[in-house]
């Protein structure tokens, strides 16, 4: 080949090399641009989408899933996003969006005047001071009835019945003879006159003790004929509550024949709870409402506080006196009682802010930006809308008054989940989750305690033994039946209290079912 041809060949190879290098450079730049664009897009998507950490049980049970699923009732598990994780120090953090969805509202803790009303249930009873019982003091027979129906109204002095008594008739004759004889022996010696006088006085005393009227006695002394029957009259106006007298019956001394009650005033006996009795005073006004007269309020007054407490109900009885014009209020009616008490100024929170589990009373402190701290409190006097707090909160702190149960459930769930994954115990120390295999021997139906025979546990240096465990919740042991082999996880919630957080059924050979 000529020198010119060789030169053209070298130039062509150089051009090809340069073109290839340029193409490679442009290709590299293009690929780099594409990767950068994809990374930017991914970053942008990440800014708008929150990461789902896990899905929690919709009923608040300590059960989580890494993938969406439904519970046994067909309810979807709820996603928990990054940023909603539990706060340090025992609090809980909830996203601002969720706070708005829940409708969380908080108010400041401040001193308030508690205008409390003590409320109690009661029953209407007869005023014991207005009861009258008709009881003969001699033996006799009922000859005639004037009042023969229970519930009948009688006026004071109205005749009830006539009674015949041989003893009464004999005593009348004895007095009549003695009275007449005393008049005839007025000029005799002193011994005769004194004896006749003692005889007359003895007969007179018996007649008066038997409720013979002065008018009848005067007739006998004047020579009148002894009456065969004695008329018993009503000692007070009122209603006949009980009638045992019947025509022709024989009665004995001390036997109750009639009971009459004046119902113009009645009592309401209210059962006031032990914690409220200290605010009740004799003389304070009371408002009574009866189911029979809906919407009507009867005004009364506290007249007596009984000195003893009912041990079974932890209540003390308070007597309220109530006017009963027309007799509309009937004994044995049920009553709702309100006892207004004097107001006191104390540090207080709304009643709705307190979550009462029976053993603990907790309020949620709003720390702002979706952070809430559960706080144990001690409560004092209660009002209609507010309750005094003696310990646990300070003036000016804000407490949650709406949706606090939902936040508390969220907090309890996260605490339970922390226990499943090794959270903290009541002292704030890191909990260690232990695993073991064994047999679920029994589940106590009343306390829920689990009796488990477990194999040796290396992490605790425990030998094989049978012991009681506390379930984290009622659903832990529902996956297996007593007598079944299990694999379980547990933590020490507090010294000596071992809590089972998870149970899995095992096959007889130890494999998971």
H-run or E-run covering 442: strand 434-443
Question: pLDDT tens track of the chain, all 513 residues?
Answer: 444 444 454 444 344 444 444 444 334 444 444 344 344 434 444 445 667 777 776 655 556 777 888 876 677 777 877 655 544 445 677 777 777 777 888 899 998 877 678 889 999 999 999 999 999 988 999 999 999 999 999 999 999 999 998 888 888 888 777 777 776 666 667 777 777 778 878 888 888 888 777 777 777 666 667 778 888 999 999 999 999 999 999 999 999 999 999 999 999 999 999 988 888 999 999 999 999 998 899 999 999 999 999 999 999 999 999 999 888 999 999 999 999 887 678 899 988 888 876 667 888 888 887 788 888 899 887 777 888 898 889 999 999 888 766 666 655 545 544 444 444 544 445 567 889 999 999 998 878 889 999 999 988 888 999 999 988 877 777 778 889 999 998 888 777 788 888 898 887 655 555
483 Cα distance to chain centroid: 38
Q: How far apart are CA 338 and CA 384, in angstroms?
A: 12
Q: How far apart are CA 417 and CA 363, in angstroms?
A: 22
Extents of the domains making up the chain:
1-49, 53-82, 92-115+345-416, 136-255, 265-342, 425-505
- Give me the torsion for CA of 475, 478, 482, 483, rounded to 10°: -120
pLDDT value of position 86: 47
> What is the 3-class SS of 312-348, one letter each residue?
CCCEEEEEEEEECHHHCCCCCCEEEEEEECCCEEEEE
The domain made up of 265-342 has a fold known as Elongation Factor Tu (Ef-tu); domain 3 (2.40.30)
Q: Output the CATH code of domain 425-505.
A: 2.40.50.320
pLDDT value of position 135: 92
464 Cβ partners below 8 Å, 6+ apart? 453, 454, 455, 456
Query: Quick one: tokens of 490?
Result: 């547990």
Query: Quick one: tokens of 214?
Result: 């002065």
Q: How far apart are CA 395 and CA 404, in angstroms?
A: 19
361 Cβ partners below 8 Å, 6+ apart? 354, 355, 376, 377, 378, 379
Q: How far apart are CA 293 and CA 302, in angstroms?
A: 21
Q: How far apart are CA 459 and CA 375, in angstroms?
A: 34
pLDDT value of position 17: 42
- CATH class of the domain whose range is 92-115+345-416: mainly beta
């Amino acid at each position: 080949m000529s020198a010119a041809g060789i030169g053209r060949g070298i130039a062509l190879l150089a051009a090809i090399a340069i073109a290839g290098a340029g193409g490679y450079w442009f290709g590299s730049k293009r690929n780099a641009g594409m990767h950068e664009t994809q990374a930017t897009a991914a970053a942008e998507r990440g800014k708008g989408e929150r990461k789902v950490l896990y899905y929690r049980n919709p009923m608040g049970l300590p059960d989580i899933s890494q993938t969406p699923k439904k519970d046994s009732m067909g309810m979807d598990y709820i996603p928990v996003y990054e940023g909603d994780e539990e706060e340090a120090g025992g609090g809980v953090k909830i996203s601002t969006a969720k706070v708005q969805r829940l409708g969380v509202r908080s108010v400041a803790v401040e001193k308030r005047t508690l205008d409390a009303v003590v409320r109690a249930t009661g029953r209407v009873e007869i005023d014991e001071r207005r009861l009258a019982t008709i009881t003969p003091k001699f033996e006799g027979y009922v000859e005639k009835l004037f009042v023969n129906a229970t519930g009948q109204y009688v006026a004071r002095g109205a005749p009830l019945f006539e009674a015949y008594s041989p003893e009464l008739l004999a005593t009348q004759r004895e007095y009549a003879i003695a009275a007449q004889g005393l008049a005839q022996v007025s000029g005799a010696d002193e011994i005769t006159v004194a004896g006749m006088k003692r005889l007359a006085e003895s007969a007179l005393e018996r007649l008066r003790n038997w409720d013979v009227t002065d008018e009848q006695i005067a007739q006998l002394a004047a020579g009148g004929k002894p009456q065969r029957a004695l008329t018993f009259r009503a000692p007070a106006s009122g209603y006949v509550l009980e009638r045992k007298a019947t025509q022709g019956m024989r009665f004995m001394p001390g036997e109750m024949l009639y009971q009459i009650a004046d119902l113009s005033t009645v009592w309401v006996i209210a059962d006031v709870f032990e914690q409220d009795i200290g605010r009740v005073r004799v003389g304070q006004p009371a408002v009574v409402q009866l189911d029979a007269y809906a919407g009507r309020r009867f005004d009364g007054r506290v007249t007596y506080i009984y000195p003893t407490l009912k041990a079974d109900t932890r209540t003390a009885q308070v007597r309220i006196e109530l006017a009963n014009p027309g007799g509309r209020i009937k004994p044995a009616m049920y009553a709702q009682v309100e006892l207004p008490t004097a107001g006191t100024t104390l540090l207080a929170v709304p009643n709705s802010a307190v979550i009462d589990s029976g053993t603990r009373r907790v309020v949620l402190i709003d720390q702002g930006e979706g952070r809430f701290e559960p706080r144990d409190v001690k409560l004092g006097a209660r009002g209609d809308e507010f309750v005094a707090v003696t310990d646990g909160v300070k003036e000016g702190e804000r407490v949650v008054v709406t949706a606090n149960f939902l936040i508390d459930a969220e907090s309890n769930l996260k605490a339970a989940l922390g226990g499943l994954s090794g959270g903290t115990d009541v002292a704030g120390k890191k909990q260690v989750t232990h695993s073991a295999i064994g047999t679920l021997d029994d589940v106590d139906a009343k306390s829920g305690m689990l009796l488990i025979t477990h194999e040796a546990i290396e992490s605790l240096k425990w030998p094989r033994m049978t012991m009681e465990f506390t379930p984290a919740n009622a659903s832990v042991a529902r996956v297996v039946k007593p007598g079944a082999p299990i694999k379980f996880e547990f933590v020490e919630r507090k010294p000596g209290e071992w809590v089972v957080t998870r149970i899995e059924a095992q096959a007889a050979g130890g494999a998971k079912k």
